Chains A and B, each alone.
Chain A
Amino acid sequence: MNRRALLAGSLAATLARPGRAEPRPWRVGFLHPGEQAYVDSRVAAFRTGFAPPPGSPEIVTRTASNDLARLPALVAELAAEQVQALCAVSPPAVGAVRTASLAMPVVALDLESDPVANGWVESLGQPGRSLTGLFLDLPEFTAKCLQLLVEAAGGAPKVGVLWHGAAGTLQVRAAREAAARLNLPLEVAGIQAAAEIEPAFAALHAAGAGGLLMLSSPLFGGRVRQMAELSARYRLPAINQLPEFAEAGGLLGYGPEAQGMFRQLGALTRRILEAGPGRPLPPVERPVRFKLVLNARTAAALGLTIPPMLLASVDEVIE
């Protein structure tokens, strides 16, 4: 009798949890407007942040190769892939996902827009049930970058701004306000596609810009090497909001580490999925650590003398 009860109990327990024996891996959609080759390393970082290797999720990646018009179709594809959560990188991608109004939670990585102002979340602390993510909605940070560039460039008479239109106007406005405060003439080169990058450099060079502020955009983030080479070719001391830029040969990179942000995004996505559907999403997060990287070789090549004040703030110098 006892043995039979035990057996029945264990059998019932086995039947009651059919899925537990072989847990289905999480299925996450990953939407990026950039190019596949660049996205792969980001996905890897995301995966690392999501979970240590055994619990690795299935990640369905869709990249627009900078053709933003494709984004809605890609969103539809991802929705059809039955993903449990969707990660969208950059404001256009987040916008496309929002437009599609999907049932699954959306985890955004957006360094360019204010989610509250855009109406994507109710508040940073209580984002609601549809969208959360990693946002860097600090317009003043652009101004800070501009200040750093000016200091590094040794009082440039004119600063050029490279702006990817798709990233929104928040930063460019901040840059303009900061420049106005500093009485600094500003030459803004807005572009829409990758092909326009080099002509923009030429134009800024021709306009007599003594420094270049690159507003953040996945378009630029995926092409740090090209940007660094162009900066060197046109002898423009440049600052980018990715520390990688300086490592790739640019003069200054200030901002959160890209790989770190994607890891943070992965961890956040994991928390959302573990909490289960229908639960309030965790608060909007911000990049925690900012890193100022200076490429001393580039500075030397540009003939710049970096003031000690700036050196004091630099976290890492590339010799």
Chain B
Amino acid sequence: MSGAAATPLRATASGPSEPASRLRRVPLSVKLAVALVGLVTLVLLVNGVVNLWLNYDEAKRTAVRLQQEKAHAAAERVDAFIAEIENQIGWTTRAEWRRVPPEQQRYDFIRLLRQAPAITEASYLDAAGREQLKVSRLEPDVIGSGRDFSGDPRFVRAVADKVWLGPVTFRRGSEPYMTVAVAHAGKHPGVTVAEVNLKLIWDVVSAIHVGDKGYAFVVSDTGRLIAHPDLTLVLRDTDLSRTPQVRHVLASPGGPETEPEITLDLDGRRVLTAHARIERVGWIVFVQSPVAEAMAPVYTALYQALTLLGLGLLLATVAGTLLARRMVVPIRRLQEGAERLGGGDLTQRISIRTGDEIETLADRFNQMAGRIQDSYETLEAKVGERTHDLNEALRQQTATAEVLKVISRSAFDLEAVLSTLTRSAAELCGVERVVIVLRDGDGYRLGAATGLAPESERFVRAHPDLAGRDAVVPRVVRSGAVEQIPDPAGPPEAQHGAGAVLGVPLLRNGAVEGVFVLTRPEPGAFPARQVELVQTFADQAVIAVENARLFGEVQARTGELTASLTDLRAAQSRLVQSEKLASLGQLTAGIAHEIKNPLNFVNNFSALSAELLDELREALDAGALDGRAREEVEELIGLLQGNLAKVVQHGKRADSIVKNMLLHSREGSGERREADLNALVEESLALAYHGARAERPGFNVTLVRDLDPSAGTLALYPQEITRVLLNLITNGFYALRKREAEGGEPGFAPTLIAATRNLGDKVEIRIRDNGTGIPDEVKAKMFNPFFTTKPAGEGTGLGLSLSHDIVVKQHGGTLDVATAPGAFTEFTIVLPRGGAAAPGRAP
């Protein structure tokens, strides 16, 4: 519940503004960490940079010093090489050597060459400067050539300086050589001159290792390359005097050895160069090593310092971050707690035990949250209650509306309306059983029920008196007001095991039309709201009942009206028919009257003529006529007599017609008197039967008499009624005969039933035959005058018309026919006992 209420709160509190502020804000921990790390970094950086600078300087100086030392060492080794050669030569320069025999001298020189591989040639110059001996590796030895070298520097300089080291020469521009001349000891010394192949310094130079990639090389005082690890450069007679380092050194011949410097070597790589002079020969030894290698210790120191710095920074970062985190954690927790509170989660409490201001702050927050929560809960309860009430009301209104809708939809279906009411009442009031009992005369019946088992409902419906037996019903009927049995103490079966019962009367004009009964298992009073609701429903039920009743009444009335309308219409049509027939009758009577006189003439004179013809024959018999003429006359007379007989016959028929026609216009032929109906019928039946038998002797029919003995007598015109009955019976016989003639089915028994019945103030006569029946088209016209279905000459077409006139007009009764073609025809005559219609009515 609080969650549901809190969600919208949270949504508004942490709305669109929060992400932006998150982006903008720098967390406190970061600030702290940055401050800490920054401080440490600054100190470390300053320290590192100072250290680095000092270290670098120191390391560089060391490297340079090292290089310088290496150069000196290299120079010393090259110097040693030369010194060794001098030394080797030395033992041929003893003072007494000149007195050694030449063979021995040569032997010594050969040994010298073997001892010193660099010496390719050794020669001995005597005190006068003449060559006495030359021993060579590659040339034949020469003894006592006497070549004069007295002016040659090798002799002059050697004698003067004891040792002379000649300039470096390149044989055929390729191999470097140097002449070494050493003066012998003693006065007037000779000189031993050795040609030294400097190519062999290569052994020395390439043995000098300066680091991994460094090397040493030697240049002469003119800058020519003497020795280099790459012998090719030497053999190529390379002049290095133009390279910066060599030029620099050569420029200050006597100058102090300058600091090592970084220059480019022949391949263009950056090298650290140091040099040293070999004073004895004026050569310069250069030591070069790639800067990267020479400065490796410097770089190592640099890397160490950087690593230390990096490590320090890392440590500072880690420590700073941890520290900042530790400091910030309670604040963050406080912030999170506050956010939760702000987001509506008031049950949360911030738990911080740092023992400082933050803890106090957290406690304050907690107190605030508690108070807000209290007021919040009260508010929620109120809102809840109110909402519940509103919901309830809404539900009731909806249900009521529903009920009204149902009622208006099925206004005349009482059952449906009442069912809806009970169901809605059960739902809204939450009760198990709702029953509507309706008053039915003095008793009560079940109107509708909800929550009643189907069999018990059926049972109650089958026994309407049970419906009123509910304890509450009589009480309500008595009081005409709402009754409650909160905890019925009565016999349980009366309440059907209910706990509490509510009865609401269905009042119409102050009368109790029925009772709305609510029952539920739990005892206790029904709430006022429910009672009110049920009252509303009861009112609705009353309206529905009333509606239904009114509807029923309207329906009954409508039925009655419809019936009278039908009767009226029938009477009207009969009236019209009677009028029509009456006028026809008058017309016929008029015609008959007019025809009667001429017809009498025809009849009388034709009879007379027939007699006259007899007289004629007599006369003729007496006359004088021959046989043939006589025969002819006789024949003519016979013909005339035949014709006259026909005239008479048909005249009589016409006479009969006219008579019949005149009957129409005649009122009350015979007198009106009391007559026994059954006797009348018997008489007519017998007459007709015998008539028919007389006409057709083979005719057979079963006559059934169903005469009501209580028919009694009544006032009528017996002759007329007899005519009517004869008419109808003769017609019936005709139909039976016809059916028989048409080949009646086997087992067909022609039957004619004549029945009478006492209808109180009326009597009824029925004549029924099982003949051919009357087709519909005939039935419509059969009462019209002159309408007949019989062959010409057999009927006048006036029989039924007359019968109708007699029964209806003369006697004020009715003549009806019921027929089914091929099955039966039944004429029903109803005659009023009281009297004929207009006894004195004129034809």
Contact = CB atoms under 8 A, between A and B. Distances in A.
Contact of B114 (A144, A147, A312): A312
Contacts of B111: 312
A26 interface: no
Given A282-B236, A308-B107, A125 B138 contact: no
Contact of B235 (A140, A285, A313): A285
B170 A125 contact: yes
A290 B173 CA distance: 22
Chain B at the A interface: SS class = mixed
Contact-size category for A: 20 to 34
Contacts of A146: 140
B110 A312 contact: yes
B624 to A, nearest CB: 170
Contacts of A68: none
B809 to A, nearest CB: 127
Interface string B118-156: 000000000000000000111111000000000000000
B174 A284 contact: yes
Interface in B157-206: 170, 172-175, 199
B139 A125 contact: no
A138 B138 CA distance: 8
Most buried by B among A140, A143, A286, A289: A286
Given A309-B103, A309-B107, A312-B111, A123 B140 contact: no
A178 B138 CA distance: 13
Contacts of A233: none
Contacts of B664: none
Contact of A124 (B103, B136, B235): B235
Given A123-B174, A125-B173, A312-B107, A271 B232 contact: yes
Contacts of B199: 288
B650 to A, nearest CB: 139
A283 interface: yes
A124 B170 CA distance: 11
B173 A124 contact: yes
B275 interface: no
A255 B301 CA distance: 55
B138 A140 contact: yes
A313 B138 contact: no
Contacts of B433: none
A125 B235 contact: yes
A126 interface: yes
B70 interface: no
A116 B113 CA distance: 29
A123 B170 CA distance: 12
A141 interface: yes
B15 to A, nearest CB: 36
Interface in A145-181: 146-147, 178, 181
B140 A147 contact: yes
B72 interface: no
Contact of A313 (B103, B110, B140, B236): B110
B107 A140 contact: no
B237 interface: yes
Contacts of A116: 172
Nearest to A285: B235
Nearest to A289: B117
A123 B172 contact: yes
B229 to A, nearest CB: 13
A87 B315 CA distance: 66
Contacts of B117: 289
Contacts of B138: 138, 140-141, 144, 290
B236 A125 contact: yes
Contacts of B140: 140, 143-144, 146-147, 178, 181
Given A271-B232, A308-B107, A312-B111, A144 B136 contact: yes
A289 B199 CA distance: 11
Nearest to B199: A288
Contacts of A289: 117
A313 B173 contact: no
Nearest to B172: A124
B139 A283 contact: no
A285 B174 CA distance: 9
Contacts of B174: 123-125, 283-284
A81 B326 CA distance: 80
Given A144-B139, A285-B235, A309 B170 contact: no
Contacts of A140: 136, 138-140
Nearest to A290: B137
A302 B137 CA distance: 26
B106 interface: yes
Given A125-B174, A288-B199, A309-B110, A282 B235 contact: yes
A254 to B, nearest CB: 10
Contacts of A313: 110, 113-114
A131 to B, nearest CB: 15
A123 B173 contact: yes
Nearest to A148: B140
B141 A147 contact: yes
Contacts of B113: 313
Contacts of B236: 125-126, 282-283
Most buried by B among A146, A147, A315: A147
A283 B114 CA distance: 27
A177 to B, nearest CB: 10
A12 to B, nearest CB: 26
Nearest to A271: B232
A143 B103 contact: no
B139 A143 contact: yes
A62 to B, nearest CB: 28
A313 B108 CA distance: 10
Contacts of A181: 140
Contacts of A285: 235
Most buried by A among B106, B140, B172: B140
Contacts of A144: 136-140
A249 to B, nearest CB: 25
B591 to A, nearest CB: 133
Interface string B98-113: 0000010011001101
A313 B111 CA distance: 7
A288 B137 CA distance: 12
Nearest to A136: B138
A271 B113 CA distance: 31
A110 B174 CA distance: 17
A146 B117 CA distance: 22
Contact of A309 (B106, B137, B232): B106
B241 to A, nearest CB: 17
Contacts of A271: 232
Interface string B306-333: 0000000000000000000000000000
A144 B174 CA distance: 23
B135 to A, nearest CB: 9
Contacts of A282: 232, 235-236
A309 B133 CA distance: 14
A309 B235 CA distance: 34
A283 B174 CA distance: 8
B167 to A, nearest CB: 17
Interface in A12-65: none
Contacts of A138: 138-139
Interface in B225-239: 232, 235-237
Interface string B329-347: 0000000000000000000
Interface string B629-644: 0000000000000000
Given A147-B141, A283-B235, A309-B106, 5 more contacts: A143-B140, A144-B138, A146-B140, A286-B175, A290-B138
11 contacts: A116-B172, A125-B174, A144-B139, A147-B141, A282-B236, A284-B235, A289-B117, A309-B103, A309-B110, A312-B110, A313-B113
- Interchain residue pairs A-B with the least CB separation, the first 6: A283-B235, A124-B174, A140-B139, A147-B140, A282-B232, A125-B174
